[in-house]
A = this chain, B = another copy of it.
Amino acid sequence: MRRNDKETLTAADWEMAALQLMAEKGIQALAIEPLARRMGVTKGSFYWHFPGREALLEQALSLWESHDRRNLNKSLGEIHDPSERLVTFFRRVGKETFTHEVYSELLAAAGHPQVEPVLERVAERRMKHIAVAFEELGMPPDEAQYRARLTYSVYLGFLQLQRQHQTPSLSSEAFEAYLDHVIETLIPAPEAN
């Protein structure tokens, strides 16, 4: 029998704590000893659950990616109107804060050998998702793909500006006005066609 109480830590606990730390201080701050201190234990614990830092990062990234994948398919997949689906995509930047904070830090670590493939897959999935929506709005496939890349770039750029504190507060009316402009510019009106 395992001790399932909270007296002892599991590998999953370490992975969650790792994501938490990454969301706050970035991936370069993911170090074993500081993390252990934060969890009230020593690294002796860590090295029992994981062979090393690399493995922890690998698992944490994998955990995050599957969360993200589930979000994409479930939350966004259930919206039938493509126009509304695209709008929701932008609005989600404000919600799901944690997932976005992690993503934002991962973006800063592109070039890292373990992070790079994750970023590539996630961006690919999301852009395909967006391209489909534009096709459903009547765009030819080529244009839909370009528009999807453009749309996703806008999203990435917004995250970057957010990191630089150069974006209006997400719940302000300035943000809403900007969002309206973005939607108007990028998403074709459904009834004009």
Contact = CB atoms under 8 A, between A and B. Distances in A.
Contacts of A158: 153
Contacts of A154: 150, 153-154, 157
Interface in A123-173: 123-124, 142-143, 146-147, 149-150, 152-158, 160-161, 163-166
B124 A166 contact: yes
How many subunits of this chain does the assembly comprise? 2
A186 interface: yes
Given A146-B181, A154-B150, A178-B146, A160 B110 contact: yes
A154 B153 CA distance: 5
17 contacts: A28-B28, A107-B160, A110-B160, A111-B163, A116-B165, A120-B164, A120-B166, A143-B181, A146-B181, A147-B185, A150-B178, A150-B185, A152-B157, A152-B161, A153-B160, A153-B161, A156-B161
A177 interface: yes
Secondary structure dominating the interface of A: helix
B143 A110 contact: no
Indicate the size class of the contact surface on chain A: 35 or more
A119 interface: yes
